[in-house]
């Protein structure tokens, strides 16, 4: 099957007052129709910018993007702004991290949902409203026919995120980009929203790019995972493979820092240090200043993304020899067993 | 909502008492005798006392204030001018439309200038247009209105002869002896005063609109609108401006109230016999009833327009509920 979305060697630079900032540096991945791809990484690693670039939502005057974003074979980076507007909200939709601020406070949610319909379909107001109501019911807003004329401030955070999801799915897009859709919500609401997304993904057959920093979310929802660190992909594999044979020290760090219920610890493990500045990234492997396995080569040479021999698709970018990786991964899994299974 | 209105009106009453009382007190702190002025330079002391009694100035201040309130509430009358003995009500009714013409026309011009200029400056910060707008703003804020008025009047009115230099024309109810009248003549004579007002006031609004639009542009819901595929025009109109204009509406409402209370300098430069001129003259003649009339009119204007703004605000911003 031809991939729905092919991102090839995507590079995005921002002009800032302090110089060029390389926010995305050579990122490639595919999304198949109906697939859920997770992009994981710390804040500022470029995962959101990758998706904003796919949507063409970066400020054009301050951004330079190269590479290819092939959506059903069409390069969106070269598309006209008119064509991009057709794609946005219709073929590719997006939901954002903070539902409290993502809805316009002065319009009713019915109006905001209908707007998404009428922008792309030649339908009457009444039909658009009927479609809006249908979607509000699909995302299980109670008493939707009454709530449709309410304003965003009359909804709770979880309900607003449901409205956002309804708005994103209203034109049955082929691809939904969910930028940390549960980060701003409390834990029980998070579970409900994830459950809802999974359900809708099956009902609508929408492919999803799930941006998150939560490996638990990845384990629950994704088919494939891209792990990003400092604007680059460091590991990319099927979800079970990542949890069973993680190959990159950064991925180990992420897994080691997951809180778990069944183990009592005084203090959660963490990856020491701070993510590097994207204005002036470290030489060689960008993770080397924080990596416990740093060798001389790590400071000199940028590790290439290379395939891991095995039955399933798995890529990683680390200089460590395979034997050490297998050993360290096994050690880690022994202590954190339970994650992802 | 109804309760809110009642409460606001009660407060308006309190405010009204405070404003008129302060006017009275300030007026009587001035060491001058309105009666002496009214009686004339060569009047005898007996004559002055007679005039004092006639004008009611021989009573203590609080009695005078009480009489003033009684007259206002019972007869709806602001009294008679100390000097001309004409009814202050009539005087206000004559002068108010002139000031209103200046203020409303001027504010419309302000908005016509400030909203587009503010939006373009916000869209292209630090561009040539933004810098030009900033220069204009500085000129408007720094230069006094009478200077701008005189310069406009001299160059456009006198040198180029494009507009009248000064004067006012009635829009409706044109007096028989009038040399001009009707909407055309009225607007023709008001162009320069409006332009002056807009240069003085628009500067602040340009900066304000610019700041509000720039702030709103970065809101998440604007990004949501773009992610829906909305074209830029629609994003600006329906999502940015609708939110950015909320504080601007407040400012317009308050400014209209304040300006209605008198735009003395502009009225004087352009010979408009409006409220500002009336107040100015009555101060010079110690004409308390007329001055009080203008003050009351101004106070009512401010109270009414802030109330309108609050009601309008609740209507355009659904998050605000008046209780």
In a domain, B253, yes or no: yes
CA B34 to each of CA B39, B84, B86, B182, B296: distance values in angstroms, whole numbers, following the listed order: 9, 13, 16, 39, 20
A46/A154 same-domain check: yes
In a domain, A236, yes or no: no
Q: Please, which residues have CB within 8 angstroms of residue B77's CB and are 6 or more apart in sequence?
A: B71, B87, B88, B89
Q: What's residue A341's pLDDT?
A: 43
A203/A109 same-domain check: yes
Residue B223, pLDDT > 50, answer yes
Q: Looking at the 3D structure of chain A, how many domains does it have?
A: 2
A70/A190 same-domain check: yes
User: What digits encode the pLDDT tens for the residues A243-302?
Assistant: 999 999 999 988 887 776 666 666 677 788 888 888 888 999 999 999 999 999 999 999
In a domain, B171, yes or no: yes
Residues B204-230 have a mean pLDDT of 93
State whether A96 and B219 contact (CB < 8 Å).
Answer: no
User: What digits encode the pLDDT tens for the residues A193-226?
Assistant: 999 999 989 888 899 999 998 888 899 899 999 9
State whether B229 and A94 contact (CB < 8 Å).
Answer: no
- Comparison of pLDDT for B229 and B30, the residue scoring more: B229
Residue A187 banded pLDDT, cuts 50, 70, 90? confident
In a domain, A178, yes or no: yes
A76/A218 same-domain check: yes
A211/A88 same-domain check: yes
Grouping H, G, I as helix, E, B as strand and the rest as coil, residue B128 is helix
Residue B228, pLDDT > 90, answer yes
Residue A333 banded pLDDT, cuts 50, 70, 90? confident
Q: What's residue B189's pLDDT?
A: 83
CATH code for position B259: 1.10.3720.10
Considering only the beta carbons, identify the residue of A98, A106, A116 that sits closest to B318: A106
Q: Looking at the 3D structure of chain B, how many domains does it have?
A: 1
In a domain, B216, yes or no: yes
| DSSP secondary structure letter of residue A77 | G
Range of the domain at B250: 96-272
Residues of A in contact with B243 (CB under 8 A): 104-106
In a domain, A308, yes or no: yes
In a domain, A231, yes or no: no
In a domain, A307, yes or no: yes
In a domain, B61, yes or no: no
Q: Which two tokens stand for residue A53?
A: 């670039």
- Comparison of pLDDT for A270 and A167, the residue scoring more: A167
Contact with chain B for residue A10, Cβ under 8 A: no
A211/A252 same-domain check: no
| Percent of chain B residues past pLDDT 70, beyond the cut | 96
In a domain, B308, yes or no: no
Interface of B with A (CB under 8 A): 219-221, 223-231, 238-239, 242-243, 316-319
Question: SS3 helix, strand, coil % of chain B, rounded to 5?
Answer: 75, 0, 25
State whether B219 and A101 contact (CB < 8 Å).
Answer: yes
Range of the domain at A254: 247-336
In a domain, B18, yes or no: no
- The C-alpha of B62 sits at a distance from chain A's nearest C-alpha, in angstroms, of 50
Q: How far apart are CA A240 and CA A250, in angstroms?
A: 17
Residue A340 banded pLDDT, cuts 50, 70, 90? very low
In a domain, A252, yes or no: yes
Considering only the beta carbons, identify the residue of A86, A98, A164 that sits closest to B229: A86
User: What digits encode the pLDDT tens for the residues A101-125?
Assistant: 999 999 999 999 999 999 999 999 9
Residues of A in contact with B231 (CB under 8 A): 85
Q: What's residue B24's pLDDT?
A: 79
Taken as a whole, chain B contains a residue count of 323
In a domain, A341, yes or no: no
Q: What's residue A77's pLDDT?
A: 94
CATH code for position A114: 3.40.50.300
- Comparison of pLDDT for A224 and B276, the residue scoring more: A224
Q: What's residue A226's pLDDT?
A: 96
Q: How far apart are CA B71 and CA B78, in angstroms?
A: 7
In a domain, B283, yes or no: no
Residue B137, pLDDT > 70, answer yes
State whether B226 and A153 contact (CB < 8 Å).
Answer: no
A312/A278 same-domain check: yes
A139/A35 same-domain check: yes
Residue B28, pLDDT > 80, answer no
Q: Are strands A224-229 and A92-95 parallel, antiparallel or unpaired?
A: unpaired
Q: What's residue B175's pLDDT?
A: 64
Q: What's residue A1's pLDDT?
A: 65
In a domain, B241, yes or no: yes
Give the number of other CB atoms < 10 A from CB of residue A130.
Answer: 14
Burial (CB count <10 Å: 0-12, 13-18, 19+), residue B75: exposed
State whether A88 and B226 contact (CB < 8 Å).
Answer: yes
Residue A135, pLDDT > 70, answer yes
Residue A10, pLDDT > 50, answer yes
User: What digits encode the pLDDT tens for the residues B287-303?
Assistant: 888 888 888 888 888 88
- For testing contact with chain B, the best of A48, A93, A106 (most B CBs within 10 A): A106
Residue A237 banded pLDDT, cuts 50, 70, 90? very high
A254/A182 same-domain check: no
Mean pLDDT over each residue of chain B, to the nearest integer:
85
A195/A296 same-domain check: no
User: What digits encode the pLDDT tens for the residues B54-81?
Assistant: 877 777 888 888 888 888 888 888 888 8
A218/A252 same-domain check: no
In a domain, A242, yes or no: no
Q: What's residue B31's pLDDT?
A: 67
Residues of B in contact with A55 (CB under 8 A): 227
């Amino acid at each position: 099957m031809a991939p729905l979305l092919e991102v090839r060697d995507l590079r995005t630079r921002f002009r800032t007052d302090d110089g060029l900032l390389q926010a995305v540096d050579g990122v490639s991945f595919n999304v198949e129709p109906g697939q859920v791809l997770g992009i994981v990484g710390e804040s500022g690693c470029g995962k959101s910018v990758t998706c904003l670039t796919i949507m063409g939502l970066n400020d054009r005057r301050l951004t330079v993007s190269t590479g290819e974003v092939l959506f059903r074979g069409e390069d969106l980076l070269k598309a006209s702004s008119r064509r991009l507007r057709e794609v946005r909200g219709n073929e590719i939709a997006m939901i954002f991290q903070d539902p409290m601020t993502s809805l316009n406070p002065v319009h009713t949610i019915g109006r905001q949902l209908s707007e998404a319909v009428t922008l792309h379909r030649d339908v009457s107001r009444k039909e658009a409203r009927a479609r809006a109501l249908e979607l509000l019911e699909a995302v299980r807003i109670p008493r939707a026919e009454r709530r449709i004329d309410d304003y965003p401030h009359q909804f709770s955070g979880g309900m607003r995120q449901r409205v956002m999801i309804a708005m994103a799915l209203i034109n049955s897009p082929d691809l939904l980009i969910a930028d940390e859709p549960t980060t701003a919500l409390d834990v029980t609401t998070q579970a409900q929203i994830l459950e809802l997304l999974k359900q809708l993904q099956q009902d609508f057959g929408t492919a999803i790019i799930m941006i998150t920093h939560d490996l638990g979310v990845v384990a629950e929802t994704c088919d494939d995972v891209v792990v990003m660190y400092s604007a680059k992909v460091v590991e990319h594999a099927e979800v079970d493979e990542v949890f069973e044979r993680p190959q990159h020290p950064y991925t180990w760090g992420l897994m080691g820092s997951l809180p778990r219920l069944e183990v009592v610890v005084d203090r959660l493990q963490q990856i020491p240090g701070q993510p590097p500045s994207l204005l002036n990234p470290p030489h060689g492997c960008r993770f080397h200043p924080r990596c416990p396995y740093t060798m001389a080569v790590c400071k000199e040479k940028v590790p290439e993304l290379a395939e891991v021999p095995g039955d399933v698709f798995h890529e990683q970018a680390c200089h460590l020899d395979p034997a050490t990786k297998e050993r360290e991964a096994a050690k880690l899994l022994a202590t954190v067993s339970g994650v992802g299974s | 909502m109804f309760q809110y209105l009642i409460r606001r009106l009660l407060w308006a009453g309190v405010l009204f008492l405070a404003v008129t009382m302060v006017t009275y007190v300030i007026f009587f702190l001035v060491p001058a005798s309105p009666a002496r002025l009214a009686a004339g330079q060569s009047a005898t002391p007996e004559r002055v006392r007679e005039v004092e009694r006639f004008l009611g100035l021989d009573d203590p201040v609080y009695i005078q204030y009480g009489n003033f309130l009684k007259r206002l509430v019972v007869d709806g009358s602001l009294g008679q001018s100390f000097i001309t003995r004409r009814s202050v009500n009539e005087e206000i009714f004559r002068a108010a439309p002139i000031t209103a013409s200046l203020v409303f026309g001027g504010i419309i011009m302000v908005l016509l200038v400030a909203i587009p200029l503010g939006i373009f400056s916000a869209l292209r910060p630090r561009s040539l247009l933004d810098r030009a707008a900033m220069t204009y703003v500085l000129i408007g804020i720094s230069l006094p209105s009478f200077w701008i008025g005189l310069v406009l009047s001299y160059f456009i009115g006198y040198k180029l002869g494009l507009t009248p230099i000064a004067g006012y024309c009635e829009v409706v109810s044109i007096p028989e002896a009038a040399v001009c009248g009707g909407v055309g003549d009225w607007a023709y004579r008001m162009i320069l005063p409006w332009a002056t007002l807009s240069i003085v006031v628009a500067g602040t609004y340009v900066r304000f609109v610019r700041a509000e639009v720039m702030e709103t542009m970065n809101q998440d819901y604007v990004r949501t609108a773009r992610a829906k595929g909305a074209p830029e025009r629609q994003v600006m109109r329906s999502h940015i401006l609708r939110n950015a204009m909320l504080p601007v509406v407040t400012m317009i409402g308050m400014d209209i109230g304040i300006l209605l209370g008198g735009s003395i300098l502009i009225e004087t430069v352009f010979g408009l016999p409006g409220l500002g001129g009336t107040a100015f003259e009555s101060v010079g003649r110690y004409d308390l009833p007329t001055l009080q009339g203008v003050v009351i009119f101004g106070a009512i204007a401010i109270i009414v327009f802030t109330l309108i703004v609050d009601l309008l605000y609740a209507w355009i911003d659904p998050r605000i509920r008046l209780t």
